[in-house]
Structure 1
Amino acid sequence: MALPPKFAGQKLVFNTPAATAPTPPAQHTLELFLDYVCPFSAKQFNTIYNVVAPMVREKPSWASSLQFVFRQQVQPWHPSSTLTHESAVAVLRLAPEKYWAFSDALFREQKAFFDVNVVNETRNDTYRRLAKIGAFVGVDEDAMYGLLAIPDHAAEDGSLNVGNGVTNDLKVMVKMARLVGVHVSPTVIFDGVVAGDISSGWTKEQWHEWLTKNLA
């Protein structure tokens, strides 16, 4: 599935082809549909980002033939899921090069955004905490909060469902997931086909075996 240029930060590439290459690079694509408040998504992201990605970088043949795409999978039965995903969209807008580092930091702090830990705070208070995580990885905290905050008054036309600065982008992401019928997080799609054999609990050795087989 195509990745809109404005979401380019969701792509993790390991080897940039030369602009003078005679033909486009033949790359495999591993798409990761993850939810920021899903424990299994956190486990898979940590393995992918901190174990598998370094392993790919160390092997030139893999680095030149594989790219990862982080697809945000909002799970609305956890209300804070939407808010956490909005924060990542804000990072894409402000500092796309920080997107994967921000996601890593947010997954590490995900329990702070579980249902019990957000029930007694306002929506904007949750955004404040998310913007601080952005600041931790080098994103402008005030600018990030500015994109996320919801006003406490009606718009000029009287509208009360005003959304925030990233609402429209999040709508696009939700539509894209629906188009491919993804429901469960995490879900992995490899070259356009759901890779149901991949588990969030896979070890480095299991990933190495799978990559060896599928990147041959």
Structure 2
Amino acid sequence: MTDAQWHADPLTWGTGPRSFEIFLEPTCPYSVRAFNKLDALLSQAGEDKITVKIRLQSQPWHMYSGVIVRCIIAASTLEGGKETAKKVMAAIAAHREEFEFDHHADGANMDVTPNQIIERLEGYSGVALQDAFAIPDLDREIKWHCKYARQNGIHVSPTFMIDGLAQADMSSGDEVGAWVQKLLGS
């Protein structure tokens, strides 16, 4: 697969005119809380009314963030595209502590290699990631996510944007109904 043409499927769901972009670091507990609300958001708001776009926001204090983000992007190149990537994100969310350090600096993951992280994620998600992870220029897609966030002044996760404008008053702790209200009014 490393010499084949590849395509990273955009992490986009819904077809509506209102754009809801969410910048997530997959092992961040607040990002996990927000990620777990996205299906309910689409259901309550209506897939024909909003478009949800996940933007990956790698953060260096989440020590395996780069490896995890690359795994998600790699998954999006596989059969199933964004749904395969979503399956990988759901596995990370369900087993967050397995991919994170205690207090960002210690704990059992201190002795874990990137290959072990990938193997662990393959086991939890059921998605074979090794070959896609090794795509030589996969980093161009990762860099796009990073550049897009920086161009929009996004530095932490989760951060929310509606129709291209950052929403400082939105939080992962908000009820889904509050998000719907913010997106659609009434």
Q: State the TM bucket, normalised to the shorter chain.
A: 0.7 to 0.9
**Among candidates 70, 93, 101, match of residue 86 of structure 1:** 70
Percentage identity across paired residues of the two chains:
25
C-alpha distance in 1 between matches for 2:36 and 2:74: 21
**Among candidates 42, 60, 64, match of residue 53 of structure 1:** 42
Matched residue, 2:57: 73
**Among candidates 26, 33, 41, match of residue 43 of structure 1:** 33
C-alpha distance in 2 between matches for 1:44 and 1:122: 28
**Among candidates 183, 197, 206, match of residue 169 of structure 2:** 197
Cα deviations by residue, 1:146-202 (Å, 9 ceiling, x for unpaired): 2335xxxxxxxxxxxxx9563332122212222212101000010010011111101
C-alpha distance in 2 between matches for 1:210 and 1:120: 44
Matched residue, 1:64: 48
Query: Could you say what the CA RMSD is over the residues aligned between the two structures, in angstroms?
Result: 2.3
Q: Kindly report structure 1 stretches of 4+ aligned residues shifted beyond 4 Å.
A: none
Q: What's the secondary structure of 2:69's corresponding residue?
A: helix
Question: Who wins on radius of gyration, i.e. which is larger?
Answer: 1
**Among candidates 87, 110, 113, match of residue 101 of structure 1:** 87
* Greater relative contact order (Cα < 8 A, sep 6+): 2
Matched, 1:148 2:133: yes
**Among candidates 176, 188, 192, match of residue 148 of structure 2:** 176
Matched residue, 1:21: none
Q: 1:52 to 1:146 in 2, by over 3 A?
A: same
Greater helix percent: which structure? 1
Q: 1:66 to 1:124 in 2, by over 3 A?
A: same
Q: Give the CA deviation at 1:7.
A: 4.2
Alignment TM-score, normalising by the size of structure 1 = 0.72
C-alpha distance in 2 between matches for 1:122 and 1:170: 20
Matched residue, 2:104: none
Conserved 8 A contact 2:8-2:74: no
Matched residue, 2:4: none
- For these two proteins, the number of residue pairs brought into alignment is 174
Conserved 8 A contact 2:78-2:132: no
Provide structure 1 residue ranges, at least 5 long, that are not aligned to the other structure: 1-5, 16-25, 58-62, 150-162
C-alpha distance in 2 between matches for 1:93 and 1:8: 6
Matched residue, 1:11: 12
C-alpha distance in 2 between matches for 1:56 and 1:65: 7
